[in-house]
Chain A
């Protein structure tokens, strides 16, 4: 098993944001986490990459617990998060952003090769290589955020709402790339508001509601589920 999250509880002060969340992800899967705003999806990702600390529960990566691992070591283990909201480094150029993504590596040649690799996936970024991150368009920033995540050579990629605020055609492209990344061997945990899109590329999915998982299943089944249809797919 690649990732097992067991009875995860997270508090922000008095707010009980995650109330015993349990799920897993197999090697090679795309797993979608869907749910309304504030349901705890981002919190889950942040806790896996240790930007948050859980108050109870366990997270195991390939069998070993990582709840006590500091965030920089999580990255070295191959779990990389692309945070919500296109958070690129605004005052670094595209190339510098990518180099930051490879911060844990020091082999110059390999980094150069990886930059070429992600430019292959996002040709748009190659055109903008010297432009400052902050001056990119929203879509370009999201591409850069994902590309930067890839630079750390993730085995498990945590994507937080890659489609947020983007035009439909770009969403399609980004999801194509996510599928491609997955086919090249990276497992993906995908948080999405756009349930339709997420479930269409995912193998399995979990539905969050106020800090709990209320539904889980194969992506195809969830797409057909009346409750999911009602709540997240714009009526049934």
Chain B
């Protein structure tokens, strides 16, 4: 066994040990174990220390990861079982010993009655005991070493197995493809009926869920739906036409306020029909997209981002200021905004509203998909990749950029109107910069230019934090970390737009031919 590779394993093990210690110092060991406990469906009171078994699960994940990392050092080498196990064991052992030493230090201090919370607010006596599995110093430390080594070995085995199976897959890929095409699975994929059945199931869920899962989830999922609308719109602007617009919230605000001012008794005593007000809000937002678009069409990249960032803030500040107080109610915001009515019946319950949002989302997805796949979508794609060349191929770039802005704004207008109507209130703070950023992040996380990506991104960004609510003050930190991890694992987004990837021609021209041999007009 070569010494260098073992040193490397030890090094990577120590890094993992440091990570564990760091997580313990900031109290994350307790928080994560608590989260695991909740995910597993057991209750946990605020401030209560979770049960030790969940701590083992948490450490188990880290340990497996440690072993996995340590055993795959070089992409090009072929792994043997002995190599893998040695490396994993070394990594696990070094991580475990380091953690044990940490345990001795804090455990020892705690036993002597030093209150560590003076220095690190998370290090309560309870949490230190928890870290040592409620065992004695020595026993707790040894458990750490043993468990860390064990889990690292598991990780090493997993790495070994996955490496093997990948090799298998690589050599068998064509075989498997042929096989899968000839079997049931191959027939199912690409079969339109399967798609219909799946869509049917989704539709059924969309009909049933709002009735069953209660007002809280209707509220959360309604917000997700509104963010899907916003995401679809911004996706057109940023993802498809390639204009980095940061003040997207401006359109949301215009939609919300148009709806608010035309349906609330105060300040203008206009009480328009819900649907008319909704349509007017959408149109107003679309027009504002054109208005804002006209002066900024020539700007590209960073400049566009900065200027549009300004628009969003200007609108919010205007709404908040005294200048428009008589017109928009200033910082107080607009209250008593109307809910939906149909044939004289008002349906404002959470269930009704959820249905309304689902309908809006489905309609918007349908429209966005059609635009994206039409020649308009092609023009946007061309503009986003090379505006000058798009112009040289005859695309009226100004027109299509404006079109993208106004259609994108229209979605935000729809989202804003629904948002105001659902909350029966809207104020300047509903339209802060954070909205723009959130929507941009959801588009990026989901995968630029991808409609399923937008849906997934909205769930991740607006649904996940609700699930993470258990983490209280750590919520945003964990959430940020999740986003970072996600972008590392899937840099093109959760569900990247399906563009043809490099496709090696199959069949007889499989071998890449040196360019001069067949290029040009001969042949």
Shortest beta-carbon distance from A155 to chain B in Å:
14
Instruction: Verify B521–A137 contact, CB threshold 8 A.
Output: no
List A113-149 residues whose CB lies under 8 Å from chain B.
121-124, 127-128, 130-132, 135, 137, 139-140, 143, 148
Select A170's contact among B375, B391, B513, B515, beta carbons within 8 Å: B515
Instruction: Verify A103–B394 contact, CB threshold 8 A.
Output: yes
- B257-265, B298-306, B407-415, B502-510 - the one binding chain A: B502-510
A43 in the interface (beta carbon within 8 A): no
Q: With A89-B386, A91-B385 given, is the CB distance from A124 to B519 under 8 Å?
A: yes
List the A side residues contacting B379 at CB < 8 Å: 103
List the A side residues contacting B382 at CB < 8 Å: 89, 92, 100, 103
Query: What 1/0 flags go to B385-400 for Cβ under 8 Å of A?
Result: 1101111111110000
- Chain B residue with minimal CB distance to A90? B385
Shortest beta-carbon distance from A36 to chain B in Å:
23
A81 in the interface (beta carbon within 8 A): yes
For the complex, give the distance between the alpha carbons of A128 and B375 in Å.
23
Instruction: Verify A121–B521 contact, CB threshold 8 A.
Output: yes
- A15-23, A172-180, A197-205, A227-235 - the one binding chain B: A172-180
Tell me the number of A-to-B contacts counted with CB atoms below 8 Å.
114
Instruction: Verify B385–A51 contact, CB threshold 8 A.
Output: no
For the complex, give the distance between the alpha carbons of A176 and B520 in Å.
8
List A60-97 residues whose CB lies under 8 Å from chain B.
70-72, 75-76, 80-81, 83, 87-93, 96
List the A side residues contacting B522 at CB < 8 Å: 173
Instruction: Verify A72–B385 contact, CB threshold 8 A.
Output: no
B381 in the interface (beta carbon within 8 A): yes
B76 in the interface (beta carbon within 8 A): no
Instruction: Verify B392–A89 contact, CB threshold 8 A.
Output: no
- Chain A residue with minimal CB distance to B523? A123
List B172-230 residues whose CB lies under 8 Å from chain A.
none
List B477-523 residues whose CB lies under 8 Å from chain A.
499-503, 505, 509, 513, 515-516, 518-523
Q: With A89-B386, A103-B393, A131-B503 given, is the CB distance from A170 to B519 under 8 Å?
A: yes
Instruction: Verify B519–A83 contact, CB threshold 8 A.
Output: no
Instruction: Verify B505–A127 contact, CB threshold 8 A.
Output: yes
For the complex, give the distance between the alpha carbons of A83 and B388 in Å.
9
For the complex, give the distance between the alpha carbons of A71 and B396 in Å.
8
Select B518's contact among A72, A91, A96, A123, beta carbons within 8 Å: A123
Instruction: Verify A75–B388 contact, CB threshold 8 A.
Output: no
For the complex, give the distance between the alpha carbons of A88 and B70 in Å.
43
A56 in the interface (beta carbon within 8 A): no
Instruction: Verify B515–A51 contact, CB threshold 8 A.
Output: no
List A143-178 residues whose CB lies under 8 Å from chain B.
143, 148, 152, 167, 169-170, 172-174, 176-177
For the complex, give the distance between the alpha carbons of A83 and B389 in Å.
7
List the B side residues contacting A152 at CB < 8 Å: 393-394
List the B side residues contacting A130 at CB < 8 Å: 500, 503, 505
For the complex, give the distance between the alpha carbons of A216 and B394 in Å.
32
Query: What 1/0 flags go to B371-387 for Cβ under 8 Å of A?
Result: 00001001101100110
A214 in the interface (beta carbon within 8 A): no
List the A side residues contacting B502 at CB < 8 Å: 131-132, 135
A58 in the interface (beta carbon within 8 A): no
Instruction: Verify B515–A124 contact, CB threshold 8 A.
Output: yes
Shortest beta-carbon distance from B398 to chain A in Å:
8
Shortest beta-carbon distance from B450 to chain A in Å:
13
List the A side residues contacting B520 at CB < 8 Å: 122, 124, 143, 170, 172-174, 176-177
A40 in the interface (beta carbon within 8 A): no
For the complex, give the distance between the alpha carbons of A177 and B385 in Å.
27
Shortest beta-carbon distance from A129 to chain B in Å:
8
Select B499's contact among A49, A104, A132, beta carbons within 8 Å: A132
A192 in the interface (beta carbon within 8 A): no
Select A103's contact among B378, B521, B523, beta carbons within 8 Å: B378
For the complex, give the distance between the alpha carbons of A49 and B515 in Å.
32
- Chain A residue with minimal CB distance to B396? A72
List the A side residues contacting B499 at CB < 8 Å: 91-92, 132
Instruction: Verify B394–A76 contact, CB threshold 8 A.
Output: yes
A54 in the interface (beta carbon within 8 A): no
A-B CB contact pairs (8 Å), 5 listed: A70-B396, A89-B386, A104-B394, A132-B500, A139-B519
B-binding residues in A (CB < 8 A): 49, 51, 70-72, 75-76, 80-81, 83, 87-93, 96, 99-101, 103-104, 106, 121-124, 127-128, 130-132, 135, 137, 139-140, 143, 148, 152, 167, 169-170, 172-174, 176-177, 180
Query: What 6 pairs across the A-B complex have the smallest Cβ distances?
Result: A173-B520, A75-B394, A104-B394, A89-B385, A130-B503, A124-B519
Other A-B pairs, 4, CB within 8 Å; known A100-B393, A101-B393, A130-B500: A72-B394, A75-B393, A91-B385, A103-B393
